[in-house]
Amino acid sequence: MDATSVAIVVVQAGAVILLAPLVAGIAARWKAWTESRRGPSILQPYRDLAKYLRKETVVPRGASWVFTVAPFVAFAAYATISVILPIITPYPVQVAPIADFLGGGLLFGLATAFALLAAIDSSSNYPALGASRSVSFAAFAEPTLIVVFFGVALITGTNNPYTTNNVLASSFASYVSPTHLLVMAAFFLLLLFETGKLPVESAGLSELGMLDDGRTFEHSGRLLGLFRWNGWTKQFLLFAVFLNVFALPWGMWSAPTFPAALANVAILLGKMLALVAVLVVLEAMLAKIRLFKVRDFLALSFSLAVLAIFAFTVLGGA
Amino acid sequence: MDTTRTVEALLGLGILLSALYLQSESFIDPMVSGIAVQSLLVAGLIGWLAYANGSLELAVVALLVLGVRTALIPILLRRQIRAFRWRARELRAAQRVAGHALAAVAIAIVAWFVFQETLAPFLPPTPGVALPFVLLAEGLLMLATRTNTLVQVIGYLEEENAIVYAGVLFVVAFPLLIETVVFLDVLGVVLVSIILSIQRNVFGAPEEEPLEELTG
């Protein structure tokens, strides 16, 4: 592995891990504007992170090693995902072939599984309730993700995200094919659910709709900070997959050089800000759905994903 | 895929999505909008085929669909729920959106298999040839699962859309006279259904009487 390849891998992983809090901060700031508030600084997530890392970590009595290790495992999983998906470069970086789309999905699952185990391991009712809620909805979300992967594999004939990016960027007919449009719509709904955006909004401390934050009630200090960071990284990764693989596969520089990789970081950030703007507008327009209606939302997402496969069959490989 | 096929595929996809929307919606007013959009897409498809084949008859059919099913029938249906437009809902489906959406997808898959085994051998293997049959099955599902008269009229309209869709796809052009008669038939059925619906609202459904006697 030469120095340039290593540098590009570092840029890709570094961009995901370091820029994720910035995107979350910008989203929070813009959302505040739509609510006629000034909002926190876009650097607030970094300040929060620094605060969490300084604070004392308290571990509940009776909690096992899972409680402590879980945030680190999730962080490692997201860091690994950041180098196997087309986040910055349209070509596979040196370590990308270790997993395909399905492998990426499994790593997302690994991170979630450890977060759930840590919640249950805390021996407290509240995190266990959060974990229980989270799992009961994830059971509806995971099939959609798998079917979306099937849909992508049908269009491109492979389960490699880089090939998908390449096929969609080079063929407009593939981009506007019913299968791709439906897969994109299904993934967008899933993205709203996974990142806790309205109309689902799983983030925040509102008890009735709380899904994600319920799981980390017993975590504190550095461990809580890592969980927060993981949440922002997961959001960044899902945004990047949606943009680079499904919605806007164009615009990435394909030259395998360090300056091109840096330029691609700026391009990705630009695309991401556009997506954040769309999401902020959507959030201003939509009301939160009731908790038991989340499964309807996910059923719709699943239906669209299945219809994508159906459209591929009925419309003759379109 | 060439441009003609792409446009046909996208319009077919829109029609399929409108069927899914109609199945998963529990309020009547958006369902009326949904069937109007579906009819608009069918009219768009016929218009596109008219343009592609240079057929004046198909263009007239497209205009008929646009006028009767996209404009006139939705207006007639809306007049029935004018007083309670934002509350009118198909009550029994209110809490089962997920079930209805998944049932719509399941029935589409079943319809496709049935089509493959029965009609497909007799038709040219063009892409999208199964879609009208799928739409017909969706309309039947709506008639079978809903109880509100107006919603059943919408289910019937969906079936009519499927038949027109199949007609223009398989035969390209029926004699214009037959098309016109079919559209007037549909309009007649809608009017009769509306009269029956008003009658039921005013005098009550005949089957409710024995129940009232039992409870009274």
* R_g of chain B computed on alpha carbons: 18
- d(CA A108, CA A230) in angstroms, rounded, equals 11
Q: Residue B187, exposed/middle/buried by CB under 10 A (0-12, 13-18, 19+)?
A: middle
Residue of A nearest to B131 (CA): A314
- Supply B209's token pair: 């009487």
User: Does residue B86 or residue A228 have the better pLDDT?
Assistant: A228
From the list B1, B17, B109, the residue facing A318 with the nearest CB is B1
| Selected residue of B11, B15, B17, B100 to mutate for chain A interface (largest A Cβ count, 10 A) | B17
User: Which has the minimum average pLDDT: A168-182, A224-238, B26-40?
Assistant: A168-182
User: Which has the minimum average pLDDT: A39-48, B47-56, B173-182?
Assistant: B173-182
User: What dihedral angle (degrees, nearest 10) is formed by the CA atoms of A236, A238, A243, A244?
Assistant: 100
- d(CA B65, CA A300) in angstroms, rounded, equals 29
| Selected residue of B21, B105, B131 to mutate for chain A interface (largest A Cβ count, 10 A) | B105
Q: With beta carbons less than 8 A apart as the criterion, state whether B143 and B152 touch.
A: yes
Residue of A nearest to B14 (CA): A178
Q: Which residues numbered 53-112 in B keep a CB inside 8 Å of some CB on A?
A: 97-99, 101-102, 104-105, 108-109, 112
pLDDT bracket for residue A228 (50, 70, 90): very high
Nearest C-alpha neighbor of A12 from the set A298, A256, A303: A256
- Supply A15's token pair: 């961009």
Q: Chains A, B: CB contacts under 8 A, how many?
A: 76
From the list B9, B20, B105, the residue facing A315 with the nearest CB is B9
Residues 6+ apart with CB under 8 A from A185: A304
**Interface of chain A against chain B, CB under 8 Å?**
173, 176-178, 181-182, 293, 295-296, 298-300, 302-304, 306-307, 310-311, 313-318
* Structure confidence at residue B95 (pLDDT): 55
**Structural domain boundaries of chain A?**
3-314
Residues 6+ apart with CB under 8 A from A32: A38, A39, A40
Q: Does the distance separating the beta carbons of B98 and A314 come in below 8 Å?
A: no
**Structural domain boundaries of chain B?**
3-215
Cα B150–Cα B151–Cα B152 angle in degrees, nearest 5: 90
Asked if residue B49 has pLDDT above 70, the reply is yes
From the list B99, B104, B128, the residue facing A315 with the nearest CB is B128
Mean pLDDT of A193-220: 74
3-class DSSP state for residue A287? coil
From the list A293, A307, A316, the residue facing B16 with the nearest CB is A307
Q: Does the distance separating the beta carbons of A310 and B101 come in below 8 Å?
A: no
Q: With beta carbons less than 8 A apart as the criterion, state whether A257 and A229 touch.
A: no
Q: Is B17 on the interface with A (CB under 8 A)?
A: yes
Please give, rounded to a whole number of angstroms, the shortest distance from the CA of A287 to a CA of chain B: 17
Helical ranges in A85-175 per DSSP H? 101-121, 125-156, 161-170, 172-175
- d(CA A196, CA A107) in angstroms, rounded, equals 19
pLDDT single digits (tens) A73-120: 999 999 999 988 888 888 887 777 787 888 888 899 999 999 999 999
* R_g of chain A computed on alpha carbons: 19
Q: Does the distance separating the beta carbons of B109 and A310 come in below 8 Å?
A: yes
- d(CA A82, CA B165) in angstroms, rounded, equals 47
Q: Does the distance separating the beta carbons of B104 and A303 come in below 8 Å?
A: yes
User: What is the pTM (predicted TM-score) of this model?
Assistant: 0.85
pLDDT bracket for residue B90 (50, 70, 90): low
Asked if residue A240 has pLDDT above 90, the reply is yes
Q: Please tell me what DSSP assigns to residue B203.
A: H
Cis geometry, peptide bond prior to residue A199 (ω within 30 degrees of 0): yes
| Selected residue of B13, B115, B123, B131 to mutate for chain A interface (largest A Cβ count, 10 A) | B13
* Structure confidence at residue B92 (pLDDT): 55
pLDDT single digits (tens) A19-32: 999 999 999 999 99
- Supply A172's token pair: 């407009």
B2 C-beta neighbours (distance < 10 Å), count: 8
Q: Does the distance separating the beta carbons of B9 and A178 come in below 8 Å?
A: yes
